[in-house]
Amino acid sequence: MKHKSIHFRIYDFKLIGRWISRTFPGPISWFLKAWLYGLETKYIDWKAKYEVEQAIKEYEKLCPDFIEDREVEVIRTKSEVKGLSNFEIKPK
């Protein structure tokens, strides 16, 4: 029985996958590589979230006036169209 091939995306995981293929028999090798593929997917998700959070922190350091919960003032004026209003949003 031929198992579906598992393709890793990160070079280190590819090396581990090749080692598993050479060391273990077919079904055990496929199971271990499937588990390793799941681990690689979780690692990629974690790494992407971590890098985005670090970039946001770096941006906040560069822009000290950046405030996430800034209060705003909403100015509502009448429009020329009946039933509609114009809105203008300004920071307080």
Q: Give tens-digit pLDDT for 66-92.
A: 666 667 889 999 888 888 889 998 877
Going by C-alpha positions, the residue among 8, 64, 2 that lies closest to residue 38 is: 8
> Is residue 73 classed as helix, strand or coil in its secondary structure?
strand
Q: Give tens-digit pLDDT for 21-32.
A: 999 998 999 999
Q: Is the pLDDT of residue 1 over 60?
A: no
pTM for the complete prediction? 0.62
Domain boundaries, the chain: 11-91
Q: Give tens-digit pLDDT for 37-66.
A: 999 999 999 999 999 999 988 988 888 666
H helix count then E strand count, the chain: 2, 2
Q: Is the pLDDT of residue 7 over 60?
A: yes
